[in-house]
Structure 1
Amino acid sequence: MEKLITELLVDSFDHLGKLGVPVAWSIGSIDVMPGTTQKSYAQINIPNLQRVLYKTEEFPPFLAFAKALQQYEPYTTLFAEAPDENEKFLLDPIYIAYEVLRSHMEAYSQRGIEIALASQIAANLDDCIKRKIFVIRGWSPLAGFTSTQDEIDCGNGLVIRRYSEIDAYRIGRVFEDGSLDMFNIPPYALEWNKEYSFVGNKSDESSWQNHIYPTVRALRVLSPGKVAVSFTKIIRAGPGRLSPHGGGSVPGFVPHIFETNYELAEADYETLQALIKVVARTDLPNPVRIALDRVHTAVERPSLEDEFIDHIVALEAMYGDNLGGLPGGLSHKIGVRLAMFLYASVADRKLAFRKMLDALTARGGLVHGSNTLANLKPRYRDAVVWAGDAARASVRKALLEDVQLEKDYFENLIFSANIPTPSVKKPAKTKGSA
């Protein structure tokens, strides 16, 4: 296989030179101007093979490669066994030749062969042919996200992976359709790599995208900050690997995220996997479903005030249903339920109760009065941020513990709680007392 690939590349570059393809091109670079933080992007300017070969009815290097490949026994066996409906176009020898040449040109900026790269291409192609597999690699930049780890397993086939800035820039460029270069691609992306058999069941190229929504949903429930997928693409799985690519899609609504303020702690990785499994359930109790939807949607709001209102609605959905059995008004009951549900110690419960009352007071001032976040008293501004943490914590606990919130759930929780009696200081003994 390595001999076939080497001959294909050497002959192709020789013919491309005769067709006027330059000896070098840009595969993209990013430089920082000295003394500044301003970045200079070198445009990706790889020769467009489709245009170069448009008037060439038969490209001799491709024909020679196709003839040689069709004499390679593992390839002929695979081609005979693969059903027509299972990505068989990937086995077309002319298509393979084009992809080999293209992947080399995207990774090496000279009109000549790079030996190590050619060897890698040959090894990857031979591996796919002999194992009778192709690979689907989905790629979705994750805006706003950061972590201390380079790779995080989501447990559902998706991996959160960190890319260098230049790799993200190059992958983000849509080579085939001539669109503009894509600047400032986030360093992290959701990635899907899955092998499919040419001779097995038909693959579903879009199935991986069904995992994106619950993953983002779980991320938003797990930690504060803004995180979103800006678009999705199917990209090449690696030089020489048989893989479909091209096309892409954009989610229904993508919030504009201008800063990286969502950080996933290493201690939360297992929790993320557990949340991903449950956020997509269709049988969630209505209060939990509403609260989950509001926590998810809050990230897409343009202002903190709007986020806060979503968080209050989430908390009221969780704790404001079936309010019989407790004394006091709505705010009092919601505060008591939240405190008892989330916390175990008396001190934490008292603090949460007061914070909930402050949050509801802040909501009233923002919605019905003339207040803004800027002129709220510090305790109420703190309660605005606290409400988001409380909403996420409430949804997380309900999901992970599979709380059904049946009627009288909170009352049973409250009235059966073993709350310690506060200690009372005994009065000091007076002089002369017995």
Structure 2
Amino acid sequence: MARSEDDRAAILARRAAFVASTLAQVGVSLSAYADEGGGEEPPCAETPTPSPESLAEARQRFEIAAELHNQGRFEEAAVELRRVLLLAYNEKVVARAMSADMARGAPGDAWELGHQHLRCVGPSEPIETLMRQVETETGVITVRLEDPRDVILDIDGASVDVRRAARGIRVLPGSHKVRAASNGQERRNEIQVVAGETVSVSIAPFPPPMPCLSPHPCLEPPLRNEHKDTLLRLQAGAMVPAVAVLPDDTPNVLIGTGASLSLAVQIADHLWFDGDLFEMTTITRARALVYGGSNVELKYFPIDAYGFGAGFSGGVYGFPSGNDSRRLENISGMFGPVIVPASIMVDRLYFEARVPFWFSPIEERSETTFGLGAVAPHVVVGISIPLLDKTEPVQSASSRGRGAR
């Protein structure tokens, strides 16, 4: 059935308005979670009819976008296709841009583009088909903030407007990280999203900022407490000095240096478990001793910077040969408890005092007995590198549905 002139005029007006609304989207970062600057949907404003020059440039850019898409460069193709929409609206370009968004893993952008088309231009079977595909293949994250004032919100590291997050953010199935920050404090949640489901995350109000008595702390938020907020750390340290007391008939005191590489895991609040990947020490005076082994500790930090604990150490040791210092002789094993009277964390530096009590075979008057072979107090000074942050317990509720529009 032929359309009346009034119908055609209305459709053209909506199409022109759609091009103007696309301007707001092109200026936004091409991320599935891009901030829409206020959370409200872009208005359907009017725009002039494209000129012949604009149409020619649009065709040229569309060819570039098609080539990029065929090469698998979907991010660049999505950018070019949005530039085409700025020059001249075309429903096929909208569909192609939505396909590029899905291919680059940005279903949120695809859904927003299709939704804006249907809202400002009108019904379209190809666009509605793609919208149904997006809804089938994605899930929705909604974030509920009891007090959204002064809250910075991001999902998987990309900024999200809090009002848009309340409506719903479309994401691919899988694990996603939600972080909210305010007044120098932050809360983290890691959630699992299933296609066709909506996952709601509720974030309680943040406490008010602490009063500031000097101008400098008020200008910047407090530094994040990396020690408290870290789950897994890699630690590399040097032992300076390393001392070994050998309880012979005439006790020997050996002094030297060593190195260690360890992993530290925060198994509960204030409670850390450390395990050496390796530890090696060379100590000497009148005699030399080379030790290689491992060390595990359980430490409690009553305050953020200071802790103490105990553990277990074990390994092998030997004495360099008099003829060839590269060869060890009298190799034997030793093991025993370790006392940690002090463990201090300052930013990414750590200082730790250890006192291992090593038991080993001891030769006395041609007889071999087992007893205390060495006491080796030493200080470890090193660097601690965060590998994995803690996440707060997830406060979420999953419900079946097509999600937010």
Q: Same fold (TM over 0.5)?
A: no
Higher helix share: 1
TM value normalised by structure 2: 0.28
TM-score, normalised to structure 1, is 0.27
Which structure has the bigger radius of gyration?
Answer: 2
Structure ranking higher in strand proportion: 2
